[in-house]
Amino acid sequence: MAVTVLDCSDIDQYLGKPISSSRIREPISNNDIRRWAQGMHYPNLLHYDPTFAQKSRHGRIVAQQSFPVAIDDGMGTSPACVGFIADSHLLFGGDEWWFEDQPVFGGDWIHNERIPFDYVVKETKLAGPTCFQRGDNFYRNQHGQLIAKQRSTAIRYNAAAGAANVDTSEFDDPIWTRDDLAALEIRKAGWIRMLRQLGHRERWWDDVAISDTLPERVFGPHSIASFTTEWRSWIINTWGAVQVRKFDMESFGFSPDMAGCENDPDMLIENPELTDGAYIGPSRGHLFPEFARTIGMPRGYGYGGAMGSWVTDFLSGWAGEHGMVVHSIANYRGPALTGDITIQTAEVVDKTVDTEGRHLIHVKHLMRNQKGTTMATGTAEIRLPKKPG
């Protein structure tokens, strides 16, 4: 289906103005933190094992840097999805993060202020005219302290045009033999071993050299089951855990198959299964290939909000408990599809000391699948401690 016009003019009225937010109803718990680590396939003991965490510099379980988005009702895309675009759908196109040195613990409250930022329309192979819309999320704790800022990019396009261009050669999952899976587990264990060996020790800025590469991180194969685990790790996807804002999916122009009552607070009281995007609504394409293909994806695919967290976890896991990601950019180029694995790598491209005296490692990071297909690219700055003296 050829599309020559994508009317995005309704977006203009929302730019620069805060939009409504949903709020968690109870403070963050250790099990919320554990569930997020599990959902993001991130086996860092700091975030789920109290015995290990008690011996850390925090003295208790601490949330991973990627955690703030777990409290959001739109995985960070809400301020990047305002305004009516007829017969459209949305994919997560990437995000940029700025992190403060403000850890999150059980007992904390997190609230998100959301402000639409800008948009531009470009031609794409996916669907012809495509709207790249950006919006900002400001995550703060109960004291008003900023934890992180996230600038998300949503890709909004005509759903039928996406379906017309779906890659039929990717309809079937790749086949992994038992020997393949056994070899994959060995490969996956390498990055986990790096986490265990670093333990509570510092990774010193002094010991890192330009052109060093970070140990690769491998996980998967992805599946409907693993994507479901990711979906359930967002707090809003537990019935009643969030006081959900009221909005109408049809007000965005979503196609009828992908609209529904996802996260509708009134329907949550009447029949909560109708509000669960894993079953009905704009998120159903992630778990049901039939609906994935109606919006241009060949089979079940992962969540952009999770991909952004994979980037943060990969880099912060390498930095260790004495370091942190200060700033990162991730541009999503392709989805995580069922049956595929995700391979993350990064190269050190610079070392600097900023105006605040922070010792930074600059990296270029890459996410790809087993075929070498690029899933995401980006850059990041990671703060590490400097040796005394």
CB 251 within 8 A of CB 20: no
Strands (E) across the chain are located at 23-24, 88-99, 110-124, 128-141, 146-158, 217-219, 242-243, 324-332, 342-353, 359-368, 374-383
The values of phi and psi at residue 224, to 5°, are -55, -40
Give pLDDT, residue 278. Answer: 86
Q: Could you tell me the pTM of the whole model?
A: 0.95
Tell me what percent of the residues of the chain surpass a pLDDT of 90.
Answer: 83
Distance, in Å, from the CA atom of 24 to the CA atom of 37, rounded to the nearest integer, reads 19
Tokens in use for 126?
């996916």
Amino acid code (one letter) for 308: G
Residue-averaged pLDDT of the chain: 94
Give pLDDT, residue 252. Answer: 85
Tokens in use for 65?
């840097």
Residue 166: count other Cβ atoms within 10 Å of its Cβ: 18
Distance, in Å, from the CA atom of 115 to the CA atom of 123, rounded to the nearest integer, reads 26
Distance, in Å, from the CA atom of 40 to the CA atom of 182, rounded to the nearest integer, reads 21
Average pLDDT over residues 269-286: 88
Task: Dump pLDDT digits (tens) for 306-335.
Answer: 999 999 999 999 999 999 999 999 999 999
Give pLDDT, residue 3. Answer: 45
Work out the pLDDT band at 169, boundaries 50, 70, 90: very high
Work out the pLDDT band at 4, boundaries 50, 70, 90: low
Give pLDDT, residue 148. Answer: 98
Give pLDDT, residue 333. Answer: 94
Give pLDDT, residue 251. Answer: 78
**How do beta strands 324-332 and 374-383 pair?**
antiparallel
Give pLDDT, residue 138. Answer: 98
Ranges 60-69, 130-139, 235-244: which has the least confidence: 235-244
> Looking at beta carbons, which pairs linking 117-126 to residues 24 or more positions away fall under 8 Å?
117/15, 117/16, 117/79, 117/80, 117/151, 118/15, 119/8, 119/11, 119/15, 121/6, 121/8, 124/155, 124/157, 125/165, 126/155, 126/157, 126/161, 126/162, 126/165, 126/296
388, pLDDT greater than 90: yes
Tokens in use for 311?
């980037």
Ranges 19-23, 85-89, 138-142, 252-256: which has the least confidence: 252-256
Give pLDDT, residue 1. Answer: 44
Average pLDDT over residues 4-29: 93
**CB-neighbour burial class of residue 100 (10 A; exposed 0-12, middle 13-18, buried 19+):** middle
Tokens in use for 207?
């010991």
281, pLDDT greater than 90: no
* 109 alpha carbon, distance to own chain's centre: 20
Work out the pLDDT band at 48, boundaries 50, 70, 90: very high
Q: Which residue has the higher pLDDT, 284 or 256?
A: 284
Work out the pLDDT band at 366, boundaries 50, 70, 90: very high
Give pLDDT, residue 280. Answer: 87
Give pLDDT, residue 311. Answer: 98
Average pLDDT over residues 352-376: 97
Coil, helix or strand for 71? helix
